[in-house]
Amino acid sequence: MGAGFTEASAGAADRAAGSGSMGGGPVGPVAVSIVGSTGSIGRQAVEVIEANRDRFRVVALAGRSSWKLLAEQAARLDPEMVAVVESDAAAELRGCLPGGVKVTSGVGALCEAAAIGETVLNAIVGFAGLEVSVAALSEGRRLALANKESLVAGGDVVRKALAAGGEIVPVDSEHCAIHQCLRSATGAGEVERLVITTSGGPFRGKAHSELSRVSVDEALRHPTWRMGPKITIDSSTLMNKGLEVIEAHELFGVDYDRIEVILHPQSVVHSMVELVDGASMAQLSMPDMRLPIGYALGFPSRLPVPFGAIDWSVMERLDFGVVDRETFRCLAVAEAAGRAGGLVPAWMNAANEVAVEAFLQERVGWLDIAAIVEETVDRCEGGVAQEVEEVVEADRRAREVAAEIARAYEAPSRGGRWR
């Protein structure tokens, strides 16, 4: 894929960078569009850029509705464009930003913001990020990708968009770790397998019977990472790890049989690559997303400002273990959807977004998330997408089916089964 890390080309990281708009290394600050600048990843990206002003200049900021935060960020970063999906928020922004800053709104606004960056950070959450990824790659840009849902739901169309000469550098910490580890695999066929780590989330070690009545607050209490609500719930169910297995398959072209998931409660070893001679390469740092964000923006150069450096004098132990796929069914459901391919992962992703939203609104229980996803995937209408519109249509259909299934799981007050 654009990251350049198919099995055949593993290790060609620096050459891979040459395929994008950054070929030959940056001359002056790189123009960056931050799409989703108001979220957890977006705000941390602003910190990284403010710490490296000589290397990056922000040309566009984009979010869904948080106009006050967008206005504050614009005052600090002086972009050419601020894009916001909701028109009311755009009206507020026009009222408070200097006249020279273009304010755009509506469905196409985020793609417009993406198109003007040399590097585009896609930090949107969920399926809404797919069109941004495709827009950035179609313009031949570097896509610093946090939005894993793009690759899960639209792997085929994202791969097609890469033909325009763009490239993907992953922001997701596990994939960023693998990207770094693969730089030491210089020959074809040297990679034996990818080993993705998971903290196990807040319910690591719990039995199925203990998880029937967990609250939203408990599920939102992640042990090692502070993130937006959707990915935090996905981390509690291990759906996040399932999405990441598919993301790894799409990014690095490694078969599902050779992608393993292991427990690692401390979130210090971010993932590993095992080579054919038995050596394992790992990337370690404290859990701090500013490191992978900076890596993806700066690649192939390393940024001089450290984030997540380890203090070994207090690091007493690193633990590893086996994942419980029976209790955390979402992982197995996602892996099966990835193996099935075509539009099955798009259905699985849509169903998960519907189920997580229903859980966050306390309409269904935590265990119902896996059940809703599984039942929706069972009703998948199949197909393979050539164009984004086909993925959008599959996503819409899957949401309809998932919403209908979710209604059956709703609380007794609504005639459902929960509580």
Cis check for the bond before 300: say yes or no (omega within 30 of 0): yes
187, two tokens: 């020959």
Distance CA 322, CA 262 (A): 6
Shortest distance in whole angstroms from residue 244 CB to ligand NAD: 9
Nearest residue (CB) to Mg ion, 40 versus 173? 173
Q: Of the candidates 128, 177, 263, 402, which one interacts with ligand NAD according to CB under 6 A?
A: 128
Spell out, one character per residue from 312 to 351, where the chain touches ligand NAD: x when CB under 6 A holds, - when not. ----------------------------------------
Which phi and psi (to 5°) does residue 253 adopt? 65, 30
Indicate the SS3 state at residue 275: strand
Shortest distance in whole angstroms from residue 31 CB to ligand NAD: 20
Sequential DSSP letters for 283-342: EE--S-THHHHHHHHHTTSPPSS-SS---TTS------B---TTTSHHHHHHHHHHHH-T
Distances (CA, A) of 378 to 75, 293, 325, 367, 374: 49, 36, 19, 17, 6
Instruction: Convert 91-114 to b/e letters by CB count within 10 Å (16 or more is b).
Output: ebbeeebeeebbbbbeeebbbbbb
Q: 214 with 154: CB under 8 angstroms?
A: no
Residues that bind Mg ion (CB under 5 A): 172-174
38 touches ligand NAD by CB under 6 A: yes
Shortest distance in whole angstroms from residue 148 CB to ligand NAD: 5
Shortest distance in whole angstroms from residue 262 CB to ligand NAD: 18
Q: Of the candidates 125, 144, 169, 369, which one interacts with ligand NAD according to CB under 6 A?
A: 125
Which one of ligand NAD, Mg ion, none interacts with residue 147, CB within 5 to 8 A by kind? ligand NAD
Shortest distance in whole angstroms from residue 405 CB to Mg ion: 27
73's enclosing H/E stretch is helix 67-77
Nearest residue (CB) to Mg ion, 173 versus 266? 173
Nearest residue (CB) to ligand NAD, 121 versus 263? 121
Q: 196 with 262: CB under 8 angstroms?
A: yes
Nearest residue (CB) to ligand NAD, 185 versus 291? 291
Please name the amino acid found at residue 284: L
Q: 192 with 274: CB under 8 angstroms?
A: yes
Nearest residue (CB) to Mg ion, 174 versus 250? 174
45 touches ligand NAD by CB under 6 A: no
Determine the angle formed by the axes of helices 148-161 and 388-408, rounding to 10 degrees. 160
242 touches ligand NAD by CB under 6 A: no
Q: Of the candidates 55, 57, 64, 222, which one interacts with ligand NAD according to CB under 6 A?
A: 64
Within its chain, how far is the Cα of 40 from the centroid?
Answer: 12
Nearest residue (CB) to ligand NAD, 105 versus 327? 105
Q: Of the candidates 39, 242, 294, 298, which one interacts with ligand NAD according to CB under 6 A?
A: 39
Nearest residue (CB) to ligand NAD, 42 versus 201? 42
| Sites for ligand NAD among residues 142-161 (CB under 6 A) | 146-149
Q: Which residues bind ligand NAD (CB under 6 A)?
A: 36, 38-42, 63-64, 85, 110, 123-126, 128, 146-149, 172, 225, 227-228, 230-231, 289
